[in-house]
């Protein structure tokens, strides 16, 4: 494959919710990290005197300070806690109920709401009307639940990276101004926001293209890696389309604007990302499902207990029993069950180069059926390396060929030139930069060395000038997925270099592991079919889709999702919509900002083996979360019916102190279990 092929023919282009980074309040407002931290500390300070001056589940402890008037102090502090510390939960509950999906926020709100109202009633009844027997208040339970739940959310939010904006990152790809040419041929710089369809632009060498356009005059090599994900520049001629945000090469051209703002290509990609994220955000995590079940269980048990005790006894008995059921359903341990595991899991992941931005994605791992992945930069290095260096003239050694080619390419940043220069450096060659250099776009680089004019050219140059070369040799190297450049001097072909992108060392190990786990690997790439097939065959991928645009990739993600959960691994802007759409989006750490911001998981080291490690960690994390949810919910499943008086016929009612002890033990067990989570290294 030659430079001409590389430039023109080869690059075919056919939130976290409340338990996440920001706590969604349901009305468009967000509880950000700083606000949550402040609410936790203020609530904790207010909780300390409440604990010291109020009974725990009806029992007065030796260290508590109960004195005349202490109930009113507790009531004031509890009211502040209820309205200030509980506000995020009430807003979250409102959103859950509006969606007809009661979950954690609704369960918490029911518990603290009932506890607060009944506790205010208890203070008034005891201290104003002096009723007998004394009515127990639940300020202790209310305050500790609010603090523990705020702590749980803070722990979880503090362990996850701050979510950025993929849309903002996309916007940074565009320049701030554009060179607009008027009817008289004068050039004026205008703000990008003032650019209009139909205007003529001048795009100079090295600049970013400010908008979608069609070239009118001039030629250039344009880097559209943001679209194709490939590092190869594309030859652009008059009549060809260019995309806003792509990088112009060495040429200068004029172009007519065809799309700006919402009509531009990047804007369409932004819409794809946003729509995909919105679609994925509808999923409900396991903790919320468990909390939803407990909400209905507590609601049913509380109402049933109230009716039964009202029938067999009286209101004075029925009301406290019902309240006890609602309060005892407060998910103290459940509130920490998942955050503690997430905190441990995220810390372990970060220590091993895995950054988890959306922990809900981890819950999808057990159900993955397909692993869709980009090629360049994901499975391959994205850097060209010399695979073949051959002298075709007896007067020149292979080393001479490499030294001369490096001299000609010494001032170039072209991917192929970089590969040649890297090979020369590896061999520790002394390279002299060529003089009088000039480029014939799409054909080659020319210059003078040792008083001789040389050129590093493509096969198109040889054909155009009818220079003889070994066609079978060229075909063989091209079939291997190489890009081929020739060294010429006048009418003589002196040598050739064949360069190819290198497959990452652990790429094959990743594919083997995925297959062993029952996950089907699929390659999606913007590269040509021949090169894609070559890479796929070498690492064991059977399903290959090539020549894809971003919308093609995202469409295929949705297609595969019809048959199962999808993991997508990518690194370019062209991968961003797919990363956002997939059930689990995983970005290579060396990729673009847009891809990283669209992903759920980031592989810092860009090592395919890290995918295996993540899948193992995710499964272990899911096991721990399930175990903790059983411990957390188990307390409620046992305590709720006991509090409702299910064993009253045999003379047993749940002792408040026993309930408090079981609740504390459940929380401790949950914490210990979370700390036993470990990550295992990938086997060689």
Q: Residue ranges of the chain with pLDDT lower than 70?
A: 1-34, 57-59, 61, 155-174, 225-233, 261-285, 331-332, 413-415, 441-442, 527-528, 530, 572-574, 589-596, 655-664, 682-684
Quote the CA–CA distance of 616 and 620 in Å, as a whole number. Answer: 6
- Give me the domains of the chain, ranges plus CATH numbers: 283-353+606-684 (no CATH), 381-503 (3.40.1110.10)
CA–CA distance, 429 with 433 (Å, rounded to integer): 12
Cβ-contact 603, 586 below 8 angstroms: yes
pLDDT of residue 171: 57
Report the alpha-carbon angle 664-666-669, nearest 5.
Answer: 110
Contact residues for 307 (Cβ-Cβ < 8 A; gap 6+): 318
Query: How far is it, in rounded angstroms, from Cα 323 to Cα 317?
Result: 10
> Are the beta carbons of 110 and 42 closer than 8 angstroms?
no
pLDDT at position 599: 81
374 a catalytic residue: yes
Which pLDDT belongs to residue 650?
A: 86
How many whole angstroms separate alpha carbon 45 and alpha carbon 143?
10
Burial of 47-59, coded b for 16+ CB within 10 Å and e otherwise, reads beebbebbbbbbe
68 secondary structure, DSSP code:
T
The closest of 479, 483, 486 to 500, measured between CA atoms, is 483
Q: Which long-range contacts (CB under 8 A, 24 or more apart) does 115-120 make?
A: 115/139, 115/141, 115/142, 115/145, 115/323, 115/326, 115/327, 115/330, 116/78, 116/79, 116/82, 116/142, 118/319, 118/323, 118/327, 119/75, 119/78, 120/75, 120/79
Asked if 258 contacts 214 with a C-beta cutoff of 8 angstroms, the reply is: yes
Within 8 A by CB and 6+ apart from 622, the residues are: 362, 363, 365, 366
Convert the pLDDT of each residue in 348-384 to its tens digit.
887 777 877 777 788 889 999 999 998 877 888 877 8
The pLDDT value given to residue 322: 87
Query: Which among 374, 501, 527, 583 is annotated as catalytic?
Result: 374
Report the SS3 class of residue 599.
Answer: coil
If one counts every other C-beta atom within 10 angstroms of the C-beta of residue 6, the result is 27
pLDDT of 219: 85
Judge if pTM exceeds 0.75: no
- What number of other Cβ atoms are within 10 A of residue 304's Cβ? 15
R_g of the chain computed on alpha carbons:
33
Question: 477-520, pLDDT tens digit by residue?
Answer: 877 777 788 999 989 999 999 988 888 889 999 999 999 999 99
Which pLDDT belongs to residue 180? 92
């Amino acid at each position: 494959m030659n430079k001409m092929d590389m430039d023109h023919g080869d690059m075919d282009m056919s939130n976290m919710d409340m338990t996440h980074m920001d706590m969604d309040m349901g009305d468009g407002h967000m509880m950000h990290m700083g606000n949550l931290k402040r609410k936790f500390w203020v609530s904790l300070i207010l909780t300390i005197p409440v604990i010291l001056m109020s009974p725990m589940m009806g029992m007065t402890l030796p260290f508590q300070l109960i004195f005349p008037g202490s109930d009113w102090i507790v009531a004031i502090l509890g009211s502040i806690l209820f309205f200030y510390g509980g506000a995020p939960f009430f807003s979250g509950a409102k959103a859950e109920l509006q969606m007809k999906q009661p979950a954690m926020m609704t369960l918490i709100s029911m518990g603290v709401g009932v506890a607060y109202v009944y506790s205010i009633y208890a203070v008034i009844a005891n201290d104003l009307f002096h009723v007998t027997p004394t009515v127990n208040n639940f300020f202790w339970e209310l305050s500790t639940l609010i603090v523990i739940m705020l702590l749980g959310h803070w722990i979880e939010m503090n362990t996850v990276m701050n979510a950025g904006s993929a849309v903002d990152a996309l916007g940074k790809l565009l320049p701030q101004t554009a060179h607009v040419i008027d009817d008289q041929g004068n050039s004026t710089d205008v703000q990008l926001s003032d650019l209009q369809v139909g205007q003529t632009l001048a795009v100079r060498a090295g600049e970013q293209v400010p908008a979608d356009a069609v070239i009118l005059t001039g030629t250039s090599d344009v880097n559209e890696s943001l679209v194709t994900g490939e590092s190869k520049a594309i030859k652009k001629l008059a009549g060809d389309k260019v995309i806003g945000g792509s990088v112009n090469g060495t040429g200068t051209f004029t172009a007519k604007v065809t799309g700006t703002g919402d009509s531009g290509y990047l804007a369409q990609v932004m819409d794809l990302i946003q729509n995909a994220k919105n679609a994925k955000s509808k999923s409900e995590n396991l903790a919320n499902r468990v909390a939803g079940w407990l909400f209905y269980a507590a609601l049913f048990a509380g109402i049933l207990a109230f009716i039964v005790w009202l029938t067999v006894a009286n209101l004075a008995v029925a009301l406290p029993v019902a309240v006890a059921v609602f309060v005892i359903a407060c998910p103290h341990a459940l509130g920490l069950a998942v955050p503690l595991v997430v905190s441990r899991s995220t810390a372990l992941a970060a220590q091993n180069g895995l950054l988890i931005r959306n922990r809900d994605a981890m819950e999808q791992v057990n159900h993955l059926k397909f692993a869709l992945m980009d090629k360049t930069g994901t499975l391959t290095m994205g850097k060209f390396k010399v695979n073949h260096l051959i002298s075709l003239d007896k007067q020149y050694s292979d080393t001479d060929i490499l030294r001369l080619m490096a001299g000609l390419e010494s001032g170039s940043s072209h991917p192929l030139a970089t590969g040649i220069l890297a090979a020369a450096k590896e061999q520790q060659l002394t390279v002299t930069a060529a003089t009088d250099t000039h480029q014939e776009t799409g054909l080659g680089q020319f210059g003078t060395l040792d008083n001789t004019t040389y050129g590093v050219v493509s096969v198109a140059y040889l054909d155009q000038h009818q220079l003889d070369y070994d066609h079978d040799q060229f075909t063989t190297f091209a079939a291997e997925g190489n890009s081929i450049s020739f060294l010429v001097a006048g009418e003589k072909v002196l040598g050739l270099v064949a360069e190819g992108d290198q497959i990452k060392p652990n790429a094959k190990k990743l594919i083997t592991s995925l297959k062993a786990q029952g996950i089907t690997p699929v390659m999606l790439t913007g590269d040509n079919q021949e090169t894609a097939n070559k890479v796929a065959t070498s690492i064991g991928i059977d399903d290959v889709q090539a020549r894809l645009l971003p919308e093609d990739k995202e469409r295929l993600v949705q297609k595969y999702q019809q048959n199962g959960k999808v993991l997508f691994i990518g690194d370019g802007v062209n991968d961003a919509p797919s990363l956002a759409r997939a059930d689990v989006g995983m970005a290579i750490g060396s990729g673009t900002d847009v891809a990283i911001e669209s992903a759920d998981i980031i592989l810092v080291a860009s090592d395919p083996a890290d995918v295996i490690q993540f899948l193992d960690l995710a499964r272990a994390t899911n096991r721990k979360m399930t175990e903790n949810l059983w411990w957390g919910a188990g307390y409620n499943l046992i305590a709720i019916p006991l509090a409702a008086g299910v064993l009253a016929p045999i003379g047993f009612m749940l002792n408040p102190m026993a309930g408090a002890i079981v609740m504390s033990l459940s929380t401790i067990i949950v914490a210990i279990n979370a700390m036993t989570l470990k990550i295992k290294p990938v086997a060689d």
